[in-house]
Structure 1
């Protein structure tokens, strides 16, 4: 009897170990997510690595490990990890859908990394691989749009247009594809009217999306329609009131539209968002100078120089201001 019991235990043991390993892996993965959310990247990386050690087929752990490595500046390691994650075999897994989606996510993250590095042909290859390995349940529009964006950056506009249309065919209300397709069409002056139609459609579909107004404003600037562009930028900045770059872009658009008081208001807004940014104070000084508020302009320039001593642009502007003040 004891012999039979011993044999039974020997057979059951591997299954128990698999169950224990899965539990440990799940715990380590969850811990990694929490640590990454707190920007404790080194600890998060170790947790993900332990999760993979205990369950080498956990594709999501590879995706998050890659993300943490990128955030930590360890990009070459991230490439290797994401490649491994994209090639995992899901045979025998209970949740094949999650596994397949994670494999696609690994390829998309790999493509994004290459794109950020300017390695566009490698990014394109990763996105193509993702598109060709999409499971039926995975929404394709984001992948198709990324392919279009990358091809457009490579000046392969005809193929880019095909992918944008594929994205819009897959999901007609996909806002990113409306914007990127509009931007592509705007490169060709003969298709400017068509481009604007896509921006307008995006505006109707997503009236509270700041990016829609931002890129529509960008298009209007390119067409020399500065008054309309200023309104679009202002709407975008109002929707994202803490976005510094949008505040500056709005102020610049107002200046181009000769709406100098509005430009001053938005440059002041930019200063309030980033009070320790020297460029904010230089820009404000320049518009105050233009608006005839010389003492305030001088104070803004001096604050810019305190934050960034010796800045050539600010020194030049301050010299011009002093010359103006001496002749008035």
Structure 2
């Protein structure tokens, strides 16, 4: 409650004076078995020490701050606020009493206190409905309590503490919806909470499903509730249920193209391409240019062997807007993919000549030209793009790779080292470091490849003899650590395998084999619960990985989580239909 009182009061104050007001982040970061997690820090039971506040101010750009203490009792609550400057001087200490009935009055008093502290006297605030969105203080109170869960997951980027459950957040938001069904904020926040929990695997499927169903029961005429439930079922690969929800949503908002698009995607997953095509076309009819569902329709046509129909879709988009660079690019690619390379190249070349802004055409044409072997032209286009976006990491990396392919690898290290000066996403950084090793130290990179071959041939000891001396020189080369972890596991040297896998995860958090090697090393030490937890973290990081999902299901089964193993096996089955050996594993997991 204390967190949300300050959060909403600052939001309203900022809106009233049109100025930025800083807020304290009530979270602590910690390491949990190799994963970074964030814990909520509950406000203290006493006002903060002045010395701590002055230290905080010295480290900030602000001259003063507002400190507060929230206390609850059976008779109501009280909020004490005060202003502290860098010299540690306290001013304007003020107490605000809060009851359910006086919540809005108390919030207004707090907002006014903040705006005055920011140097704005006599700020006029709007009426309750305009300011708070509702005139029901009970609904607003529950909304604040539920929104705390939304904000926590959002700020933690899904990396919440293991023991966190969203149930109380859902319950509070549901109460707010029931108190004022016409107020959208709690309803939409509940849907958002469900989406975040689904994406980050927070809470159980039953909790999320139940919360969405309850919200829909209160607001049955809002298509957005069915849309969210359809998304949820889709994430669980329950595509029939997903399609049913989108079908229920459409009569409630027949002009919303996203409903038809999502229904079409669910039908594609159900093996109903004709139905999907009808709904993709309905979505396109309702969309404004550039009509994004065209790409879904194009993908569907390709999947059923009708790729020859795709160019016509993009020609239609170009006729509607001849400066649509993306449509030109996709037309060119569609022609190339249907064995009309010469025509596709003409489309690219004409776009380069006729578009007012052809940069995206150069960006997409360059990799095709490089693959074709026209390195000089590809490099020219990359360099034109780099003139406009000199610090685009993806562009720089493709350029470096093309330099290597063009036998100009001696130029690549400069580009790669420039990349390492940027704030790179960890997975890209790992691959940049790997490419730098392979261009700067090719003989050592080759030694790692030879060691990997020895592991495959069963000469584990020989591989480890080759690899041990390389640790000194290739400490940032993730491919070496992958081979080492695999070799140690093959040799049943579990502790060494664990250490190598941890190093690999640190270097390359998106590496699927890293987590599997780590879990294997833990299981070899009979640390099965830790292996399960590690794989759960991995699936959260790499949500589409069938390999990690399968290993997680087996780990769950090993520690007696049979229901979870069955659920995961059911989700994996559509993706593994072409692997009869793995289907047998899924059958065992579902027993």
TM-score, scaled to structure 1: 0.63
Q: How many angstroms does 1:176 deviate by?
A: 2.9
Asked whether the 8 Å contact 1:254–1:260 carries over to 2, the reply is: yes
Match status 1:310 vs 2:484: yes
User: Cα–Cα, structure 1 residues 225 and 121, in superposed 2: closer, same or farther, change >3 Å?
Assistant: farther
Select which of 46, 53, 56 maps to 2:217. Answer: 53
User: Cα–Cα, structure 1 residues 217 and 89, in superposed 2: closer, same or farther, change >3 Å?
Assistant: closer
User: Cα–Cα, structure 1 residues 113 and 132, in superposed 2: closer, same or farther, change >3 Å?
Assistant: closer
Taking the aligned partners of 2:309 and 2:393, their CA distance within structure 1 comes to 34
Asked whether the 8 Å contact 1:167–1:174 carries over to 2, the reply is: yes
Taking the aligned partners of 2:185 and 2:378, their CA distance within structure 1 comes to 50
Match status 1:168 vs 2:318: yes
Asked whether the 8 Å contact 2:194–2:212 carries over to 1, the reply is: no
Match status 1:100 vs 2:238: no
Taking the aligned partners of 1:189 and 1:113, their CA distance within structure 2 comes to 33
* CA deviation string 1:75-124 (max 9, x = no partner): 31x6523442234463xx6xxxxx2243x313323445677xxx596467
Match status 1:75 vs 2:229: no
Q: Residue 357 of structure 2 corresponds to which residue in structure 1?
A: 205
- The structure whose RCO (Cα within 8 Å, separation 6+) is larger is 1
Q: Residue 48 of structure 2 corresponds to which residue in structure 1?
A: none
Structure with greater helix percent:
1
User: Cα–Cα, structure 1 residues 228 and 89, in superposed 2: closer, same or farther, change >3 Å?
Assistant: closer
Select which of 232, 237, 247 maps to 1:86. Answer: 247
Q: How many angstroms does 1:227 deviate by?
A: 1.9
User: Cα–Cα, structure 1 residues 129 and 226, in superposed 2: closer, same or farther, change >3 Å?
Assistant: same
Match status 1:27 vs 2:186: yes
Asked whether the 8 Å contact 2:413–2:440 carries over to 1, the reply is: yes
SS of structure 1 residue aligned to 2:407: coil
Q: How does 1:237-316 map to 2 (within 5 A)?
A: 239=389, 241=391, 243-244=393-394, 246-268=395-417, 273-274=424-425, 279-289=431-441, 301-304=474-477, 307-310=481-484
Taking the aligned partners of 1:191 and 1:156, their CA distance within structure 2 comes to 18
SS of structure 2 residue aligned to 1:161: helix
Q: How does 1:122-271 map to 2 (within 5 A)?
A: 122=272, 125-132=275-282, 138-139=288-289, 141-187=291-337, 188-197=340-349, 199-200=351-352, 204-205=356-357, 207=359, 209=360, 212-234=361-383, 239=389, 241=391, 243-244=393-394, 246-268=395-417
Select which of 53, 59, 64 maps to 2:228. Answer: 64
Asked whether the 8 Å contact 1:261–1:291 carries over to 2, the reply is: no
Taking the aligned partners of 1:140 and 1:275, their CA distance within structure 2 comes to 33
Q: How many angstroms does 1:139 deviate by?
A: 4.7
Asked whether the 8 Å contact 1:32–1:45 carries over to 2, the reply is: no
Q: Residue 507 of structure 2 corresponds to which residue in structure 1?
A: none
User: Cα–Cα, structure 1 residues 178 and 151, in superposed 2: closer, same or farther, change >3 Å?
Assistant: same
Q: How many angstroms does 1:191 deviate by?
A: 1.5
Match status 1:109 vs 2:262: yes
Structure with greater strand percent:
2
User: Cα–Cα, structure 1 residues 26 and 274, in superposed 2: closer, same or farther, change >3 Å?
Assistant: closer
User: Cα–Cα, structure 1 residues 133 and 185, in superposed 2: closer, same or farther, change >3 Å?
Assistant: closer
Q: How many angstroms does 1:160 deviate by?
A: 1.2
- Structure 1 regions of 5+ residues with no counterpart? 1-18, 94-98, 313-328
RMSD over equivalenced CA pairs, Å: 4.3
Q: How many angstroms does 1:131 deviate by?
A: 0.9
Asked whether the 8 Å contact 2:400–2:412 carries over to 1, the reply is: yes
Asked whether the 8 Å contact 1:127–1:143 carries over to 2, the reply is: no
